[in-house]
Chains A and B, each alone.
Chain A
Amino acid sequence: GEDVEQSLFLSVREGDSSVINCTYTDSSSTYLYWYKQEPGAGLQLLTYIFSNMDMKQDQRLTVLLNKKDKHLSLRIADTQTGDSAIYFCAEKRDSNYQLIWGAGTKLIIKP
């Protein structure tokens, strides 16, 4: 199975909060990342969290990390139509430059 797992789709109403979840398997992860890919575009780094942190907040974005359960989440408050995109979770392991990627969660905004 994949080392980093995400649900493929999430549908939320405009104005509600979106919570995108990600699980990973390697306890040596040092950094965990969230990337956003808008239609027809490359991937853009949204935010990241060090593995020794539990939470990081940046405006409408909140990242929660449960290292014991190897669970990462991205909460987007007051979801807007411009948040429609695919969100990729990725982990960096201690020994390597390479990131291990989830398959991406497509966030669909309902009016």
Chain B
Amino acid sequence: GAGVSQSPSNKVTEKGKDVELRCDPISGHTALYWYRQRLGQGLEFLIYFQGNSAPDKSGLPSDRFSAERTGESVSTLTIQRTQQEDSAVYLCASSDVGNGYTFGSGTRLTVV
């Protein structure tokens, strides 16, 4: 498709379970970003992939969070042993040189 696609759009999980969130960036966009947005808050940077370079993981809040990206395509964000404070909208964006980001619609994660 023409935009950034994220799945699932909503996820409800029990505390302690693992979840995997998926992002399909725009074809040809070399950069991919994950952000977290808690209710009523701004964007919290999580991780950034740029081409084949090592990702910038400086925003990951704990070692329960990890992300992978296959080449310049799909990325998955995995949260292990989910906690209630992980409840948020997880936004993915992609970009190319000199352009702004294009965001997906996000995955709303609720940990109960």
Contacts and interface: CB of A to CB of B under 8 A. Distances in A.
Partners in one complex: yes
Interface of A: 31, 33, 35, 41-45, 48, 88, 90, 92, 97-99, 101-104
Contacts of A44: 103
Nearest to A45: B100
Nearest to A98: B48
A31 B105 contact: no
Contacts of B104: 42
A45 B98 CA distance: 14
A43 B33 contact: no
Interface string B26-49: 000001010000000111010010
B48 A33 contact: no
Nearest to A97: B31
Contacts of A97: 31, 48, 50, 95, 97
A52 to B, nearest CB: 14
Nearest to B29: A97
Nearest to B106: A42
Given A98-B33, A103-B42, A42 B91 contact: yes
29 contacts: A31-B98, A31-B100, A33-B100, A35-B100, A41-B105, A42-B103, A42-B105, A42-B106, A43-B43, A43-B91, A43-B93, A43-B101, A43-B103, A45-B100, A45-B102, A48-B100, A88-B43, A90-B100, A97-B50, A97-B95, A98-B33, A98-B56, A99-B101, A101-B42, A101-B43, A101-B45, A103-B41, A103-B42, A104-B42
